[in-house]
């Protein structure tokens, strides 16, 4: 019999209300001990909440969700206490002293929901993303995943794969090996190609999904003293980076998270690019370049409006050129100008960046948003490609379809999941 787990599932104390959640076989016993009797399922019930020795710890709401129709699939209870530190400490102390009860590990409620078949792995990932979501686009995407959109899609694909295999296997039973009726093999070929195309569409949308989830990375590059750190501070509206008139002030990479029109952006300040300087600065410059290599956008800042050097252009990352310190010089045509002394110009730049980010990340929330999901789906696509060759023996086609199905099984967590489970659920917070 599994342990009964409990945790403070709501946020930091003190708070108006604190929700302590329990799941497992001892839940009924705990509820009866504390509230005197089991309340009606799924109905909030006000009750004195007592410790094992009968003393009242708090007066609060209690909810009881009998398994298997609960979040975890087991008996679950929620105690809504007053969110004082002493109240919660006393209640958790009472629970911890009961036999068979222990504090939940990070993500353990969700893990039980998965293990009891209440949700699949993509829904569990969606729940984790929903809790981590900081922007509107992240919330929408996570909610779609948590609501089962990817699971439904993957199940549909799996059913179709099974149908296709059934066709092929029926065929193997009834005909000589090299004598597959043309119309049937044609039908199967079309079915495989359609599946592959649908999966490929989701994979390419997934590049957007991963950016929405992780944030679009914008790296600020330019010569020393171009005003990079000043602009980063102005865009973030906080003094994140040190600004001085000494060239070579910034050495470490500095990351700032921005919410631009509901999209997460990671803005990275870097050391000014130049030859020479001391070892510390040289290392800073090396890190800045390396970071820019993987960026989604480079903001190239220069107070004269000069273009970036060839080695920056050669990175192949889109570049937005900006002339800085526009308050000091006249208008220069062709290059957008900004001055941190002129808030309107900073706001205009924010608008421009927001439009740029929205044009890249906007649209319906993609299903794929993690490397793990991308990896599983890529394997399925590769297997389908291998099944599409002309004049392949039916056994080879069937075997590749089976492999594609296995890849989808790994995606939803039907098979081969032990090695990924730990890494997925350990990123959750305790109480989820």
By beta-carbon proximity to ligand GTP, the closer residue of 85 and 341 is: 341
DSSP sequence for 389-427: STT--HHHHHHHHHHHHHHHHHHHTSSS-HHHHHHHHTT
Contact call for residue 292 and ligand GTP (CB under 6 A): no
Which of K ion, Mg ion, ligand GTP, none is residue 324 near (CB under 5 to 8 Å by kind)? ligand GTP
Contact call for residue 196 and ligand GTP (CB under 6 A): no
Q: How far is the CB of 302 from ligand GTP (least distance, A)?
A: 10
Contact call for residue 340 and ligand GTP (CB under 6 A): yes
Chosen residue from 116, 249, 354, 386 binding ligand GTP by CB under 6 A: 249
DSSP class of residue 431 equals T
Q: Which of 44, 111, 121 is nearest to 78 (CA)?
A: 44
Q: Which of 337, 19, 387 is nearest to 193 (CA)?
A: 387
C-alpha R_g of the chain = 28
| CA–centroid distance for 318 within its chain | 25
Residue 178: how many CB atoms within 10 A of its CB? 8
Contact call for residue 243 and ligand GTP (CB under 6 A): yes
- Is there a binding annotation on residue 246? yes
Question: In a 3-state reduction of DSSP, which class is residue 364?
Answer: coil
Contact call for residue 274 and K ion (CB under 5 A): no
| Candidate ranges 117-125, 239-247, 349-357, 413-421; the one touching ligand GTP (CB under 6 A) | 239-247
| Candidate ranges 89-97, 102-110, 243-251, 359-367; the one touching K ion (CB under 5 A) | 243-251
CB 367 within 8 A of CB 202: yes
CB 303 within 8 A of CB 227: yes
Give me the 197-236 binding string for K ion, x by CB under 5 A, dash otherwise. Answer: ----------------------------x-----------
Contact call for residue 249 and K ion (CB under 5 A): yes
Rounded to whole angstroms, the Cα distance separating 113 from 144 reads 18
Contact call for residue 229 and Mg ion (CB under 5 A): yes
- Is there a binding annotation on residue 86? no
- Is there a binding annotation on residue 248? yes
Rounded to whole angstroms, the Cα distance separating 38 from 220 reads 60
Residues 218-237 that bind ligand GTP (CB under 6 A): 222, 224-230
Chosen residue from 250, 324, 345, 412 binding Mg ion by CB under 5 A: 250
Contact call for residue 327 and ligand GTP (CB under 6 A): yes
Q: Is 238 left (phi over 0), alpha (psi -120 to 50) or beta?
A: beta
By beta-carbon proximity to ligand GTP, the closer residue of 88 and 298 is: 298
- Is there a binding annotation on residue 270? yes
CA dihedral 332, 337, 343, 349 (to 10 degrees): 150
Residue ranges in contact with ligand GTP by CB under 6 A: 222, 224-230, 243-245, 247-250, 271-272, 324-325, 327-328, 339-341
Binding residues for K ion, per CB under 5 A? 225, 249
């Amino acid at each position: 019999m599994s342990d009964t787990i409990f945790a403070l599932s709501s946020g930091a104390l003190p708070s108006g209300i604190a929700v302590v959640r329990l799941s497992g076989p001892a839940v009924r016993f705990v509820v009866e001990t504390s509230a005197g009797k089991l309340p009606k399922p799924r109905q909030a019930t006000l009750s004195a909440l007592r410790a094992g020795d009968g003393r009242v710890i708090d007066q609060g709401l209690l909810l009881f969700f009998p398994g298997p129709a609960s979040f975890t699939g087991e008996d679950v209870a929620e105690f809504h206490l007053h969110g004082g530190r002493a109240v919660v400490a006393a209640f958790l102390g009472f629970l911890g002293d009961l036999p068979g009860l222990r504090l939940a590990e990070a993500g353990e409620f969700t893990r039980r929901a998965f293990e009891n078949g209440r949700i699949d792995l993509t829904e569990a990932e969606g729940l984790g993303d929903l809790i981590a979501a900081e922007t509107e686009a992240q919330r929408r995407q996570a909610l779609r995943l948590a609501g089962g959109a990817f699971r439904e899609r993957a199940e549909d694909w799996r059913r179709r794969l099974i149908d296709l295999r059934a066709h092929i296997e029926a065929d193997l039973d009834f005909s000589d090996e090299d004598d597959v009726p043309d119309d049937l093999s044609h039908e199967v070929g079309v079915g495989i190609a359609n599946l592959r195309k649908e999966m490929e569409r989701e994979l390419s949308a997934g590049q957007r999904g991963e950016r929405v989830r992780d944030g679009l990375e914008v790296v600020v590059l330019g010569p020393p003293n171009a005003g990079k750190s000043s602009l980063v501070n102005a865009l973030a509206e906080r003094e994140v980076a040190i600004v001085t008139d000494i060239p070579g002030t910034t050495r470490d990479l500095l990351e700032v998270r921005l919410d631009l029109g509901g999209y997460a952006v990671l803005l990275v300040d870097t050391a000014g690019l130049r030859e020479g300087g001391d070892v510390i600065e040289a290392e800073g410059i090396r890190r800045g370049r390396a970071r820019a290599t993987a960026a989604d956008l480079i903001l190239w800042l220069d107070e004269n409006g000069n273009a970036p050097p060839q080695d920056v252009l050669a990175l192949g990352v889109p570049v937005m050129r900006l002339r800085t310190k526009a308050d000091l010089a006249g208008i220069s045509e062709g290059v957008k100008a900004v001055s941190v002394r002129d808030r309107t110009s900073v706001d205009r730049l924010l608008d421009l960046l927001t439009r740029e980010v929205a044009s890249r990340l906007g649209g319906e929330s993609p299903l794929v948003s993690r490397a793990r999901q991308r990896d599983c789906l890529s394997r399925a696509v590769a297997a389908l490609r291998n099944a599409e060759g002309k004049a392949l023996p039916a056994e080879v086609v069937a075997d590749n379809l089976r492999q594609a199905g296995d890849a989808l099984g790994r995606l939803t967590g039907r098979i081969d999941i032990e090695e990924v489970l730990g890494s997925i659920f350990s990123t959750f917070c305790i109480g989820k």
